Structure 1
Amino acid sequence: MADSPLTSGDLKLIVVTPESTALDVAAEFVALPLFDGEIGIGRTHAPMIGRLGFGELRYKVGSQTSTYYVDGGFVQVQDNIVSVLTNRAISPKDINAAAADDQLQEALARKTSNPEEMAIRERLVLQARAQKRVAVKR
Structure 2
Amino acid sequence: MADQLQVDIVTPDGRAFEGEARGVKAPGIKGSFEVLRNHAPMIAAFGIGQLVVKTQDAYEDLTISDGRIEFATSGGFLEVLDNRVIVLAETVEPASDIDTERAEAAEQRALQRLRESTSPDEREEAQEALDRARNRLRVSMGGV
For the criterion TM > 0.5, the same-fold answer is yes
Identity %, equivalent residues: 31
1:76/1:37 Cα in 2 relative to 1: closer, same or farther (>3 Å)? Answer: same
Decide whether the 8 Å contact of 1:52 with 1:73 is kept in 2: yes
Give the Å deviation of 1:124: 0.4
Aligned to 1:135, which of 98, 115, 140?
A: 140
Look up the match of 1:97: 100
Deviates more, 1:75-84 or 1:126-135: 75-84
> What's the Cα RMSD here?
1.6
Contact 1:44–1:80 (8 Å) recurs in 2: yes
Partner of 1:66: 69
Among 107, 111, 118, which residue is 1:113 paired with? 118
One-letter amino acid of the structure 2 residue matched with residue 107 of structure 1: A
Partner SS state of residue 117, structure 2: coil
* In structure 1, distance between residues paired with 2:85 and 2:44: 11
| CA displacement at 1:50 relative to structure 2 | 1.6
1:91-136: CA deviation from partner (whole Å, max 9, x where unpaired): 1121011111111111112122222212211110110111001100
Shift of 1:73: 1.2
SS in 2 for 1:59: strand
Q: Does 1:14 align with 2:17?
A: no
Find the counterpart in structure 2 of residue 44 from structure 1.
38
Number of the residue aligned with 1:3: none
The code of the aligned residue for 1:26 comes to: E
Deviation digits for residues 38-65 of structure 1, max 9, x if unmatched? 1111111122222221221112224622
TM-score computed with the length of structure 1 as normaliser: 0.87
Counterpart position of 2:130 = 125
| More deviation, 61-70/20-29 | 61-70
CA displacement at 1:29 relative to structure 2:
1.1
**Partner in structure 2 of residue 79 of structure 1:** 82
Q: Which runs of 4+ in 1 moved over 3 A?
A: none
Q: Which secondary structure state, in structure 1, belongs to the residue aligned with residue 131 of structure 2? A: helix
The 3-state SS of whatever aligns with 2:27 is strand
